[in-house]
């Protein structure tokens, strides 16, 4: 009997739940047993907001360190947390089928029914910028913490509502508390939102082949296009960039936006093209957005 594979995961309920989903799927498809190894990352222990931490990689680097040290065989991340520049020592071995990519409001009523001045919590500049386009009369409060902690701020009355990823709420079975799921034409999700990333060492050909059992080509193409926009804009995962792609395996449709943080100005563009050219599609869309001033909006927020 082969030794169980060691899967590195953050320790939060959300992370261990989604890692468990990948582990169960891999075992069902390959027969290989998997054990979870909990890892506390810098992003988990720091109380600073993601924008102060620089955003990209704060939940990923410690898991990658365990991979490189040989302490775990593979790791599962929320794909939207991955830096757009791939570490050559590490392979993105699988991207399982994506769950709901949309954002969701947890609170007593829909966004349009919240009273003027209501306090809405989110740690994401992307969400704040797009929420201000919809409801400029609300107060947007930066928050950190896991989903239970954030929802607790609504229950306690500290906040009137919070905005979280719909997929994560479903994974931890808190989707019954959702008052509204935002359609992508209202609020574009973060690139890769709702998808998971499965990484292992790039020189483990045997493991890359095994992990490919849980890979979904349609999801991989879609998130490649979304992340290509983010990379071409030279933006991190905490930037006010939304992107969403979908396709049938042949043609991919891609929409992206950059919104300044006060919601006053935005650049939003769409395109479509062949799925195998997903990365080029994202680069071309980003170039078109830059031509309309998207880089200026990004630069203003960097300062």
Q: What is the pTM assigned to this prediction?
A: 0.89
Phi/psi of residue 291, nearest 5 degrees: -60, -20
pLDDT for 273:
97
Residue that wins the pLDDT comparison between 168 and 50: 168
Cα 15–chain centre separation: 12
CB-based contacts of 213, cutoff 8 Å, min separation 6:
26, 29, 30, 94
As a three-state string, the secondary structure of 122-171 is CCCHHHHHHHHHHCCCCEEECCCCCHHHHHHHHHCCCCCEEEEEHHHHHH
pLDDT for 1:
59
pLDDT for 146:
86
Domains in the chain: ranges and CATH: 5-97+196-215 (3.40.190.10), 103-181 (3.40.190.10), 229-302 (3.30.160.40)
pLDDT of residue 51 exceeding 70, the answer is no
pLDDT of residue 111 exceeding 50, the answer is yes
Mean pLDDT (whole number) for 197-221? 97
Q: Which of 22-36, 72-86, 208-222, 288-302 has the lowest mean pLDDT?
A: 288-302
- Per-chain mean pLDDT for the chain: 90
> What's the pLDDT tens digit per position in 235-286?
665 678 999 999 998 999 999 999 987 777 899 999 999 999 999 999 999 9
- What is the longest distance spanned by two Cα atoms in the chain? 62
- Per the CB < 8 A criterion, the answer to whether 75 and 57 are in contact is no
pLDDT for 302:
46
Helix/strand/coil percent split, the chain, to 5? 40, 25, 35
pLDDT of residue 122 exceeding 80, the answer is yes
């Amino acid at each position: 009997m082969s030794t169980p594979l060691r899967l590195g995961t953050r320790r939060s309920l959300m992370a261990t739940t989604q890692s468990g989903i990948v582990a169960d799927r891999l075992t069902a498809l390959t027969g290989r047993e998997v054990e979870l190894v909990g890892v506390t990352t810098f992003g988990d222990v720091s109380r600073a907001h993601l924008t102060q931490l620089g955003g990209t990689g704060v939940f990923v680097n410690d898991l990658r360190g365990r991979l490189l040290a040989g302490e775990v065989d593979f790791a599962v991340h929320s794909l939207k947390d991955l830096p757009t520049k791939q570490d050559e020592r590490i392979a993105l071995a699988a991207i399982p089928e994506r769950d709901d990519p949309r954002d969701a409001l947890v609170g007593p009523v829909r966004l349009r029914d919240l009273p003027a001045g209501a306090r809405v919590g989110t740690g994401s500049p992307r969400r704040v910028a797009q929420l201000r386009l919809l409801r400029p009369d609300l107060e947007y409060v930066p928050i950190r913490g896991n989903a239970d902690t954030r929802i607790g701020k609504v229950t306690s009355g500290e906040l009137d509502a919070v905005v979280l990823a719909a997929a994560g709420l479903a994974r931890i079975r808190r989707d019954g508390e959702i008052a509204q799921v935002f359609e992508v034409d209202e609020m574009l999700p973060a690139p890769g939102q709702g998808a998971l990333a499965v990484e292992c060492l790039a020189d483990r050909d045997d493991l890359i082949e095994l992990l490919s059992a849980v890979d979904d080509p349609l999801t991989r193409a879609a998130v490649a296009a979304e992340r290509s926009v983010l990379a071409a804009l030279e933006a991190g995962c905490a930037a006010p960039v939304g992107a969403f792609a979908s396709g049938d395996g042949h043609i991919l449709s891609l929409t992206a936006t950059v919104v300044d943080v006060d919601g006053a100005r935005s650049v939003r563009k769409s395109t479509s093209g062949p799925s195998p050219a997903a990365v080029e599609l994202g680069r071309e869309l980003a170039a078109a957005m830059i031509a309309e001033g998207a880089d200026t909006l990004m630069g203003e927020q960097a300062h």
